[in-house]
Structure 1
Amino acid sequence: MQALALAIIAFLLYIAAASWQGLTLARRVAPQPMLVRGLALLGLLCHLPLVIGLFGHDAQVLPGLYASMVLISAMAVALLLGISLFKPVLGAATGILPLAGIALLLAATVPAAPHSDDLPPGVALHAISSLLGFAVLAIAAVQAVLLGLQNRALRHHQIRGIVQALPPLTSMERLLFELIWAGMGLLTLAIISGFAFLDNMFAQHLAHKTILSLAAWVIFATLLFSHHRLGWRGMRAVRWTLGGSAVLLVAYFGSRFVLEVLLGRG
């Protein structure tokens, strides 16, 4: 019950922060980055007890669906708040924070899994880099959506609203590729550490995640190479970012959703 209460409070704080930022993008209210960060930080403080609880209950190579949602959403919010102190990425709060709140509410209604052994250091490196990589690329996906909306508005000569609220298009695009580079570094580390420290990355319970993670890596690597050598940008960059993020989403959550939610298996 305490976990659910904290999840509800965190959800409300996340929604409040995301709503203000959304109204800011729509030019309905004045920008208040400190307010948005403050509300999101309070939400994260309510989020953290559920994260801490996972380390005593659900430490395994592939966390359960809901445990993964709690961890990744917390990492995404923390990274967003940290990056926003140095980069104009707070607009992504409109997508990241509501998703984090929803994930937390869903996870808080599920009983904790039985205790399992601690992860070996190499496997822990794989798990943490995987979760961090997904969190960074999730922020990149929301950044890509904002970039796409800004690009479309400019092509239709709509210079008010979101175009005025966001940084210049070149800055938005540069930030998108910086996020992708960071996410790719973490994803590469996750893949290498997985092959180095897991017994068989193509075992039955890992094969789908391995194959789809490699596919996502190829998509993002192609985008980065083509951006550098062929000048890919704009809506093409947006589509490839969202495509790679979608593949990674299925890699991390696809089979778990089928097994744990649709089929009711642990």
Structure 2
Amino acid sequence: MLTLSPSLLPSLAAAVLYAAATIYQAIRMAQGAKADKRLLCLLGTFAVLGHSAALYFQLTRPDNLGLDFFGAASMISVAIIAVGMLACSRLPVENLLVLLFPLGLVTELLAQFAPSGTVPLIDEEPGILSHILLSIMAYGMFTIAVFQALLLLLQDYRLKNKHPAGLIKNFPPLQTMESLLFGFLWAGWILLSLSLISGWLFVENLFAQHLVHKTLLACLAWIVFSVLLWGRNRLGWRGHKAIRWTLGGFCLLMLAFFGSKLVREFILHI
């Protein structure tokens, strides 16, 4: 008798809801109209609930947590989407959801159906879990900042070429978009700082062989974002310079987490 994985139904439900929300919002944006925020958030909320339920079944083990490459990507994406929807309740950032919902769709399906590599088991000590949670929140906030930077880049390009209609018609003013970007960057920088501090406090050896690359790259990313925020505050950095620094710091974070994880699980099998 065929036994279905308990994560299959919530995973598929989340994927359908993410797809429906993405298609609906994309159609409204193509028409130059605003999507109904309440409907969008309703679809997103149920998608996040299904996504979270699927993750619970995918990651839990009898005595600990198993966090493989695709499971980690899925967990980060659902955290990003949850933060994005919370931000939508107070800030005009619903345009970000047209990028975030497909991210949730892809990562959840990969976590459900893609073959996993070596599955690292995570100790459930409170200090270690707090470090992991802070790292995920920091990565999620910087991911939102990157998507905001890409939308800002698109808006700037369309305005300079005198094509302000269509997709960007309902965007907030350029100055507001830039202020939102730096708000996300400040939040991400604070969370990344707390993540690094908790790592020093609770991880036995941050410079062990399997952690040294992740630690150094995360510290480099922290320096890049620190310089960017200092440049914004002291030198008034904005526009393309701010976007380049944002993308550079985010690439370092991606290498820190996903680069080392990909190599360890699928190449070295450790």
Instruction: With the length of structure 2 as denominator, give the TM-score of the two structures.
Output: 0.90
Partner of 1:22: 26
**Which of the residues 10, 27, 44 maps onto 2:48?**
44
Cα distance in 2 for partners of 1:258, 1:2 equals 29
**Which of the residues 172, 186, 190 maps onto 1:167?**
172
What is the correspondence of 1:174-185 to structure 2 with a 5 Å cutoff? Answer: 174-185=179-190
- What letter matches 1:213 in structure 2? A
Partner of 2:87: 83
**Which of the residues 214, 225, 228 maps onto 2:230?**
225
Cα distance in 2 for partners of 1:3, 1:195 equals 35
Cα distance in 2 for partners of 1:183, 1:242 equals 13
The change in CA–CA distance for 1:24 and 1:230 in structure 2 (over 3 A counts) is farther
What is the correspondence of 1:12-161 to structure 2 with a 5 Å cutoff? Answer: 12-53=16-57, 54-56=59-61, 59=64, 63-109=67-113, 110=115, 118-161=123-166
- What letter matches 1:198 in structure 2? V
Cα distance in 1 for partners of 2:120, 2:162 equals 57
3-state SS, counterpart of residue 2 of structure 1: coil
Cα distance in 1 for partners of 2:259, 2:153 equals 26
Cα distance in 2 for partners of 1:91, 1:118 equals 38
Q: Is 1:236 the equivalent of 2:241?
A: yes
Q: How many positions carry a matched residue from both structures?
A: 264
Partner of 2:206: 201
Q: In terms of mean alpha carbon deviation, does 116-125 or 224-233 score higher?
A: 116-125
- What letter matches 2:46 in structure 1? L
Q: Is 1:212 the equivalent of 2:241?
A: no
Q: Is 1:187 the equivalent of 2:211?
A: no
3-state SS, counterpart of residue 157 of structure 1: coil
Check conservation: 1:13, 1:42, Cα contact below 8 A.
Answer: yes
The change in CA–CA distance for 1:252 and 1:5 in structure 2 (over 3 A counts) is same
Please give the per-residue CA displacement for 1:36-73, whole angstroms capped at 9, x wherever unaligned: 1111111111111123232446846x932122112211
Q: In terms of mean alpha carbon deviation, does 11-20 or 129-138 score higher?
A: 11-20
* Gaps in structure 2 of 5+ consecutive residues: none
Check conservation: 1:24, 1:165, Cα contact below 8 A.
Answer: no
Check conservation: 1:26, 1:165, Cα contact below 8 A.
Answer: no
Cα distance in 1 for partners of 2:143, 2:94 equals 14
Check conservation: 1:83, 1:89, Cα contact below 8 A.
Answer: yes
3-state SS, counterpart of residue 169 of structure 2: helix
Shift of 1:111: 6.6
Cα distance in 1 for partners of 2:208, 2:118 equals 23
Shift of 1:141: 0.8
Q: In terms of mean alpha carbon deviation, does 27-36 or 166-175 score higher?
A: 27-36
3-state SS, counterpart of residue 206 of structure 2: coil
**Which of the residues 3, 10, 25 maps onto 1:6?**
10
3-state SS, counterpart of residue 7 of structure 1: helix
Cα distance in 2 for partners of 1:253, 1:148 equals 25
Check conservation: 2:127, 2:198, Cα contact below 8 A.
Answer: yes
* Gaps in structure 1 of 5+ consecutive residues: none
Q: CA RMSD in A?
A: 2.3
The change in CA–CA distance for 1:24 and 1:85 in structure 2 (over 3 A counts) is same
Check conservation: 1:151, 1:235, Cα contact below 8 A.
Answer: no
Check conservation: 1:77, 1:97, Cα contact below 8 A.
Answer: yes
The change in CA–CA distance for 1:111 and 1:246 in structure 2 (over 3 A counts) is closer
Instruction: With the length of structure 1 as denominator, give the TM-score of the two structures.
Output: 0.91
Cα distance in 1 for partners of 2:121, 2:8 equals 23
